[in-house]
Amino acid sequence: MLIDWFTVFAQLLNFAILVVALKFLLYDRIVKAMDQRRRTIAEQESSAAALAREAEEELARLRAERRELDRTREEILDEARAQAAAQQRKLLQQAREDVDRQAQEWRESLRNHQHALLSHLQRTTGEKAVEVSRRLLADLADRTLEDAILSGLRQRMAELSTEDRAAIAASVASDHAPVVVCTAFEPSLTGRHEIEQVLSELTGDADRAVRWEQDSTIISGIVVRLGAHSVGWSVADYLDGVEREFAQVLRTEVTPTEADGESE
């Protein structure tokens, strides 16, 4: 078999030309495309990593902002609570001041009412003084003052109840001290004898000693001390009656006023 070397060389030349053509026209482009693809992928990965880092940083920033917001919220809430407490204290203080002011106004009104009441009592005092004078003059008509006082004591002892008499007798029996008679004046012998006779009947002890004493603190009167008991008569009795009537008027006038103040 004969070899056509020309054909062989021509084939080799064509193959070489094809290889060169493929290298420059296809292979280099493919390599370049692959390199470009690798670079693109590397850039994308780098970009993705950068984005991931940015995302992490953004997340950390957002978390920090959230913590700051929470702290700020707590500060705002604390400030609001403090302001509310201060406002509450202010309102309570205003309420106390209003109550104190109203109480002061009520006390002032009460003082004015009491002043008017005292004026009324002053007028009543004059009327009662006239009445007392009339009663005293009626009791002392046609008698000396001393005789009237002794007579008043005898009448007072005569008006004692059975229970009071029994209690006085028992008290005197248990006490061996003398019966003491105190007066603001020096009674006559007749007056002493009459009083001692009444005391003897009252105590049931005719031998019981009677000691007479003068006491300037007794206002136109006489007081008998029988053990733990005492019996007396004086102008002060009339004054005590007037005082009780004054007290009754005072309770009648003041009590409704106090009740009105408390109801407010």
8-28: pLDDT as tens digits:
788 888 888 887 777 777 777
Tell me the pLDDT tens digit for each residue of 98-110. 899 998 998 888 8
Tell me the pLDDT tens digit for each residue of 187-220. 888 888 888 888 888 877 777 788 888 887 776 6
DSSP, collapsed to helix, strand or coil, labels residue 225 as strand
Q: Considering the domain 140-236, what is its CATH architecture?
A: 3-Layer(aba) Sandwich (3.40)
Extract the runs of DSSP E, i.e. beta strands, from 108-260. Answer: 179-183, 210-214, 221-226, 229-234
The band of 169, judged by pLDDT with boundaries at 50, 70 and 90, is confident
Is 80 exceeded by the pLDDT of residue 52?
yes
Region class of 160: left (phi > 0), else alpha (psi between -120 and 50), else beta: beta
Tell me the pLDDT tens digit for each residue of 218-242. 766 788 888 778 787 776 666 666 6
Nearest to 261 by CA among 93, 99, 96: 99
240 with 111: CB under 8 angstroms?
Answer: no
Using the CB atoms, write b or e for 230-256: b if 16+ within 10 Å. ebbbbbbebeeebeeeeeeeeeeeeee
Phi, psi of 206 (to 5 degrees): -70, -20
Tokens matching residue 46: 């780098």
Helices (H), ranges, 27-139: 28-139
pLDDT at 47: 87
Q: For the CA atoms of 82, 87, 88, 93, what is the dihedral angle to 10 degrees?
A: 130
